[in-house]
Amino acid sequence: MIKELCLGASIAVLIFLILMGQNIIPILLLAGLGFFIFMLMDKKGLVTSSQFTGYSSQVDFTFDDIGGQAPAKQELKEALDFVLHASKITDMGIRPLKGILLTGPPGTGKTLLAKAAAAYTRSVFMATSGSEFIEVYAGVGAQRVRQLFKAAKERATKEKKDGAIIFVDEIDVLGSQRGSHTGHMEYDQTLNQLLVEMDGVKNDDDVRILVMGATNRDDMLDPALLRPGRFDRIVRVDLPDKAARLHILKIHCRNKPLADDVSLDDIAQESFGFSGAHLESVANEAAILALREKSPLIHQHHFKEAVDKVMMGEKLDRKPSDGERYRIAVHETGHALLSELNRPGSVSHITVTTRGKALGYMRAVPEDDLYLYTRDFLEQQIQICVAGAVAEKIVLNSQSTGASNDFHEAVKCARQIITAGLSSLGVIWEEIIPRECYHQEIQEIISQQENIVEKILDSKLAALKKIAQLLVDEEYLSGDGLREIIGGREVLN
């Protein structure tokens, strides 16, 4: 009705101006430009339920299909039970949960947990990303937030569902601390609208809305978003431990033909630090390697090659010169010897094959997943890091730039020793300690370990040269082969 009145009034004004002999062409141009801008902004701000993916309770995806993450799944289920049993919590006078935040490293399964939550609660699932709410036009983000909540209710009503889960991935883009974006109030307006919408969620609504967010940077979120009454639960989704990695590998290998020599337990042990996404890629790459070799079954060596590929990258055609090749072999042998002598059985294999940014590498297998480190452990890590450069110095009487990353890791370990109060400085505050003192302590820690490594490698010089030459000839040496050489009497003398 209002649009018709405005249109009629506009036509009447134009007719009046024509009768008065006025030139209306500039007015028409301005009106057309204004209409175009209005339509463009309206299109930018439009959010409909068709832009999101809905998952009903019949979706064949449950918490059982997610490997590992038992603590996160348990905590999430407890929170979702409040959504499932709304009448019971009302009788108990319990306020409904409005938001659940999933936080943790990339690839750990935060989006999968949100999808499983929708199936668990028999709710409509609508997924979006924080970046979809931020535009150059003022007010567009706030409008999209309003329309998103409206679209969730409409879709749930259409599908005759009692609840809807709105999942916002990378919510730190939308919910970062207000005032952190200088000169750009669009971020703050969008966040303010999200806070208002979450405050408006009530237990007696026809459609119960639960907001789930996922982020890798929860430290960037605005405190108003994290307070109780908005995001009531913060669920930590961490990297999987060995048992969880084995569970994830079994899930991703269910549809793959595995040979009898495959030991997923060994692969789980070798993949320390891998996320669920990494492990899925390992299983997929192993199948691709088997297909490339025209093998009907996936063997253990395919999985080992896949772990290297996911960790380091694809093999390259770069061929170092003979002199560089021998230097690389000496360098990697130094790493391997110290790793094996400090922790027997830790070396998986050594190779001088160029892969990714590495001209060669030694891969070690941790015996157990460790979360606390002693000074002895960190010093052994420093020894392994500097052993490559020390081996070059002993055998070739010079060092190369190939040890740059090794020294970087050695410094990180030395810093851990200092900041944990395990150095001769005692307990310190890293921010106020003089830089010269800090740097000198790091140098002393690393120098002490270099001297220890030099004595060890001097005593194993025959083994060092033998293994390095074998690497040059064969390009690859297994951990068992290394241990056989180290244990041989001919190289111990």
Mean pLDDT of 148-154: 85
Q: Is the pLDDT of residue 292 over 70?
A: yes
Residues 6+ apart with CB under 8 A from 338: 380, 383, 384, 387, 453, 456, 457
Could you give phi then psi for residue 426, rounded to 5 degrees? 75, -155
pLDDT for res 402: 82
Could you give phi then psi for residue 331, rounded to 5 degrees? -60, -50
Domains of the chain (ranges; CATH) run: 50-236 (3.40.50.300), 242-312 (1.10.8.60), 322-492 (1.20.58.760)
Residue 53, Cβ density class (10 Å: 0-12 exposed, 13-18 middle, ≥19 buried): middle
**Antiparallel, parallel or unpaired: β 347-351 and 361-364:** antiparallel
Q: How confident is the model at residue 48 (pLDDT cuts 50, 70, 90)?
A: very low
Q: What is the mean pLDDT of the chain?
A: 80
Rounded to 10 degrees, the C-alpha dihedral 349/354/360/362 comes to: -30
Q: What is the pLDDT of residues 443-485, one digit of tens each?
A: 999 999 999 999 999 988 888 988 999 988 888 888 888 888 8
Q: Is the pLDDT of residue 160 over 70?
A: yes
Residues 6+ apart with CB under 8 A from 116: 61, 62, 63, 65, 66, 73
Which candidate, 311, 293, 394, places its Cα nearest to that of 348?
311
Q: What is the pLDDT of residues 95-119, one digit of tens each?
A: 777 888 899 888 888 888 888 887 8
pLDDT for res 47: 45
Q: Is the pLDDT of residue 10 over 60?
A: yes
**For the chain, percent of residues with pLDDT exceeding 70:** 81
pLDDT for res 482: 86
Which candidate, 128, 206, 207, 125, places its Cα nearest to that of 173?
128
Q: What is the pLDDT of residues 250-275, one digit of tens each?
A: 989 988 999 998 899 888 888 888 88
Highest mean pLDDT of the ranges 30-39, 186-195, 291-300: 291-300
**Integer angstrom CA distances of residue 356 from 312, 361, 388, 390:** 6, 11, 19, 24
Instruction: Between 456 and 314, name the one with better pLDDT.
Output: 456
- 332 flagged as catalytic: yes
Q: Is the pLDDT of residue 422 over 50?
A: yes
Could you give phi then psi for residue 127, rounded to 5 degrees? -110, 140
* 109-148 burial code (b ≥16 CB/10 A, e <16): bbebbbbbbbbbbbbbbbbbebebbbbeeeebbbbbbbbb
Q: How confident is the model at residue 37 (pLDDT cuts 50, 70, 90)?
A: low
Mean pLDDT of 221-236: 84
pLDDT for res 38: 54
SS3 349: strand
Rounded CA-CA distance 43/122 in Å is: 32
C-alpha radius of gyration, the chain, whole number: 31
Q: Is the pLDDT of residue 137 over 80?
A: no
Query: Which of 270, 332, 392, 450 does the annotation list as catalytic?
Result: 332
Which candidate, 203, 144, 196, 139, places its Cα nearest to that of 168?
144
Helix residue ranges, H only, 397-434: 404-419
SS3 12: helix
Mean pLDDT of 50-60: 45
Q: Is the pLDDT of residue 54 over 60?
A: no
Handedness of CA 200, 204, 207, 208 (dihedral sign): positive
Q: Give one DSSP letter per residue of 42-81, joined into a string.
A: HHHH---GGGS----TTSS--GGGS-S-HHHHHHHHHHHH
Residues 6+ apart with CB under 8 A from 120: 62, 63, 77, 80, 84
Residue whose entry in the numeric block shows the structure tokens 């337990």: 265
Q: What is the pLDDT of residues 335-364, one digit of tens each?
A: 999 998 888 888 888 888 887 777 888 888
pLDDT for res 269: 85
pLDDT for res 180: 62
Q: Is the pLDDT of residue 186 over 80?
A: no
Instruction: Between 43 and 14, name the one with better pLDDT.
Output: 14
SS3 318: coil
Give the single-character DSSP code of 258: B
